[in-house]
Amino acid sequence: MVSHIFFSWPVDRLLFEMLTLSGVQVGADWASILRRRHIYREAFSGFDVDAVAKYTEKQMASVSAGYGLDLGTIRGAVNNACRMLEVRRDFGSFGKYVWGFVNQKALSPGYKYSRKIPVKTSKSESISKDMVRRGFRFVGPTVLHSFMQAVGLTNDHLVSCPRHRVCSSSSSTSSV
């Protein structure tokens, strides 16, 4: 059991990064966030969940001043890191927890037109509700849908997109 948890922690680091970036992406576009990704990585200790969960109020203020990031965003990320540790304790990893919502297989709705791709779904709403109940912040249904797209929980590529098939075939081998 311990080795499984150890190997799933690097996945949790990536999931923490994508959850954090999905939250800060609200009101901005992904390209802008990705251009600043290196700043967020530095500010949040390479998205090391264990390290970020230990940030003190003084460290949060220092990160805010040093990187020009909103203190509320930093507090939210630190809170979410603490919640992820709780989820890790309860489920073995955050990856197991989120992939459990889709029965370990990515959703692939098969959209033909971009106007049909929703900003939130009933699945993102149910994950959001559970995460809010667990004390996570910045995890509304729209943020969660963006997170689901970013980490491959849902394949919202148009069926005409060359990535659709690639993502559909790799979703059956996704790991937690």
Residue positions forming the annotated binding site for Zn(2+): 157, 161
Of residues 34, 169, 20, the one with CA closest to residue 108:
169
Q: What is the largest CA-CA distance in the chain?
A: 50
3-state secondary structure of 55: coil
Contact call for residues 90 and 81 (beta carbons, < 8 A) = no
Annotated binding site: 157, 161
The owner of tokens 């060359």 is 162
Question: CB pairs under 8 A, 24+ apart, for 118-126?
Answer: 118/145, 119/145, 120/144, 120/145, 121/145, 121/154, 123/148, 123/154, 124/148, 126/101
Inter-CA distances, 55 with 51, 52, 73, 135, Å: 7, 5, 13, 17
Tokens for 126, please give them: 């149910």
Angle at 147 between CA 39 and CA 165, to 5 degrees: 115
